Amino acid sequence: MLTLMWSLGLAAIATQLIATRSLRGLGWKPGPFRWLGLAYILPVLYGLPVYAIVWLTRLGGLPSPKLVDRRAQMAPNLVAPLRMAAFLLVSATVVVLISLLTALGEEIGWRGLFVLELVKMTGFTKAALISGAVWAAWYMPAHIYTDYIACGVPGWYATACFTLMVVTASFGYAWLRLKSGSLWPAALLHASHNLFILNVFDNLTIITSVTPFITSETGAW
């Protein structure tokens, strides 16, 4: 996965060097902190309401025994609230940093170079749509040849939901890139999405026969 995602970053870097003989313009500076903070919290803002509805309506349970067992095995003595908070904070930071390592490869390509060049030719709306469509198409081999799709969800349904999610999300990624002047907010949003949606909310949810049709990256949310 690391190689796959960094193929985009390396392609963008090579393209930039060939075209301009410089790596300037890809958005290496971090930009204002407010955009990084917004990027980190956005997955909570758009993900938690959906998962909360799933939990409250019993379309999915809470909490997951798998997560409880994992916590017990990893940190059986974490009983004090402050210790538990520290444990979760460290865990979240580690997951974000690991995810950022892979997400950065994609974002150098998509938002570092591709979106900026599209905006010059088409404007924001078309640039977001085109980059989102290409981004979704780039992931299609993973849907076809791997177990990326959640168990029990038809391939056509998962692919349609995933494509809609990626194209819609591309507007937020492109907006953050242009507003901040940096690729780092987009990379952090990518990493934070992987943390909260795939590692926190999915692991907190007990899966029923209906849950995969609603949650995660191949559900209708």
Query: Tens digit of pLDDT for each residue in 25-54?
Result: 899 998 899 999 999 999 999 999 999 999
Name every residue whose Cβ is closer than 8 Å to that of residue 201 and which is 6 or more positions away in sequence: 47, 48, 51, 215
The answer for 152, left when phi > 0, alpha when psi is -120 to 50, beta otherwise, is left
What confidence tens digit (pLDDT) does each residue in 101-139 have? 889 999 999 999 999 999 999 999 999 999 999 999 998
Query: What is the reported pLDDT for 86?
Result: 65
Report how many helices (DSSP H) and strands (DSSP E) the chain contains, helices first: 9, 0
Q: Using a pLDDT cut of 70, give the percent of the chain over it.
A: 86
Query: What is the reported pLDDT for 142?
Result: 80
Task: Tell me the pLDDT band of 81, cut-offs 50, 70 and 90.
Answer: low
Packing angle of the helix pair 81-107, 2-20 (nearest 10 deg)? 50
Higher pLDDT, 92 or 217: 217
pTM comes to 0.86
Q: % helix / strand / coil in the chain, to the nearest 5?
A: 75, 0, 25
Q: Using a pLDDT cut of 90, give the percent of the chain over it.
A: 55
Q: Give the least confident one: 8-17, 33-42, 58-67, 126-135.
A: 58-67
User: Would the pLDDT of 78 be above 50?
Assistant: no
Average pLDDT of the chain?
86
